[in-house]
Amino acid sequence: MSDRKNVFLFYKKNDELEEKIQEIRKIGRKYDYRLVDHPDDANIIASFGGDGTFLQAIRKSGFREDALYVGVNDGRLGFYTDFNTNDPEKIEMALQSDQTEILKYPTLEVDVDGMQSFQCLNELSIRSQIIKTFAIDVYIDGLYFETFRGDGMVVSTPTGSTAYNRSLNGAIVDPKLNGMQLTEIASINNNQYRTLGAPLILNHDRELVLKIVQDGNDHPIIGADNEALSIRHSHEIKVKVSNKKIKTLRMKDNLFLHKVRRSFL
Ligand code: NAD
């Protein structure tokens, strides 16, 4: 952390937050941190807001592998935000002590029709955009696995497993396990259509291919974390665990299991 001094602040401007950020800026200046106007010039990118703002900070800055991302929440504790605008003392402590550590979070690498590729930190989601089911042929490492028909499918990272995936009854995955999880959104299971009907956790070296069956309803929405892509018509979506990771700063006393217990138990 000490060799990184150029900081970009990512947040939606509002008067109340601006006031709190002024306080944090003062602390930064005290320890020789410099604010930069563009994320490309930063080696620390700090987001102020919820988990959604943290996800946007990473996406808008291009999933920089050479930058350190820091999530500062605005009062409500999140999964990616270890610091709090209401607790500037803790931020100051983090800047000068050994109470923090750098974590590397796995991401997904997604390719759509060989034309567009992008990363996800939480999940890739594919959903019907009309009140009609659509079908996906699922292939794993080139092997035909199943044909899904329903509302959609989600492929999540371990850190994303506590987000959308959890609402779909997916398993919560320890981020120390490197892999991806496929969950269904309201699959139809009857004599005509049959899917696994359970979350499927795949090792990091697998390749998942989701082929949208071209049967009329073949314009699903593709979501990368909390952003819908502007792809209107897709055929084949390849998903792999990326070898690019995101570096984040977290307090040593705020482990994944603390967050799971605090949020869900
Ligand atoms: P947000 O900050 O408002 O997030 C919404 C909620 O999701 C918050 O409570 C946040 O803390 C939580 N969240 C986000 N990432 C999390 C994670 N990795 N683990 C545990 N909780 C997490 O911002 P947003 O833009 O609405 O959030 C985006 C995320 O919302 C998506 O990446 C997706 O995972 C999730 N989502 C969930 C559902 C659902 O559960 N039905 C539907 C769509 C999207």
pLDDT digit string, tens, across residues 29-56 = 999 999 999 999 999 999 999 999 999 9
Residues recognised as catalytic: 51
Which protein residue's CA is at the shortest distance from atom 32 of ligand 1? Answer: 225
220 pLDDT more than 90 = yes
**What pLDDT score does 45 carry?**
97
Report how far ligand 1's centroid is from the alpha carbon of 164 (Å).
6
Percent of the chain at pLDDT above 70? 99
pLDDT digit string, tens, across residues 131-153 = 999 999 999 999 999 999 999 99
Superfamily of domain 107-243 in CATH is: Probable inorganic polyphosphate/atp-NAD kinase; domain 2 (2.60.200.30)
Ligand 1 close to Cβ of residue 164 (< 6 A): yes
Ligand 1 close to Cβ of residue 122 (< 6 A): yes
210 pLDDT more than 80 = yes
Counting atoms of ligand 1 from 1, which one is nearest the CA of 51?
2
Mean pLDDT across the stretch 99-122? 95
154 pLDDT more than 80 = yes
**What pLDDT score does 252 carry?**
87
**What pLDDT score does 238 carry?**
98
Which protein residue's CA is at the shortest distance from atom 12 of ligand 1? Answer: 163
96 pLDDT more than 90 = no
**Average pLDDT of the chain, as a whole number:** 94
Instruction: Tell me which amino acid residue 165 is.
Output: N
pLDDT digit string, tens, across residues 60-90 = 999 999 999 999 998 888 999 999 999 988 8
Which protein residue's CA is at the shortest distance from atom 16 of ligand 1? Answer: 163
**What pLDDT score does 1 carry?**
59
**What pLDDT score does 93 carry?**
85
Report how far ligand 1's centroid is from the alpha carbon of 49 (Å).
13
Counting atoms of ligand 1 from 1, which one is nearest the CA of 78?
11
**What pLDDT score does 2 carry?**
63
Report how far ligand 1's centroid is from the alpha carbon of 6 (Å).
29
Which protein residue's CA is at the shortest distance from atom 10 of ligand 1? Answer: 51
193 pLDDT more than 80 = yes
Q: What pLDDT band is residue 97 in, cutting at 50, 70 and 90?
A: confident
Question: Residue ranges of the domains in the chain?
Answer: 6-97, 107-243
Mean pLDDT across the stretch 227-238? 90
- For 5-115, strand residue ranges (E) read 6-10, 34-35, 44-48, 68-73, 83-84, 100-112
Report the distance separating Cα 5 and Cα 143, nearest Å: 48
Q: Decide: 122 and 163 in contact? Cβ < 8 Å.
A: yes
16 pLDDT more than 90 = no
Predicted structure pTM score: 0.96
**What pLDDT score does 99 carry?**
81
Superfamily of domain 6-97 in CATH is: Probable inorganic polyphosphate/atp-NAD kinase; domain 1 (3.40.50.10330)
Q: What pLDDT band is residue 216 in, cutting at 50, 70 and 90?
A: confident
151 is in an annotated binding site: yes
Ligand 1 close to Cβ of residue 151 (< 6 A): no
| Per-residue tokens: 16 | 């109340």
Ligand 1 close to Cβ of residue 226 (< 6 A): yes
230 pLDDT more than 80 = no
String of DSSP letters for 172-201: P--TTS-EEEEEEEEE--SSS-----S-EE
Look at the alpha carbons of 220, 225, 231, 235 in this order and tell me if their dihedral is positive or negative.
negative
Report how far ligand 1's centroid is from the alpha carbon of 206 (Å).
26
166 is in an annotated binding site: yes
| Helix or strand holding residue 243 (H, E) | strand 236-251
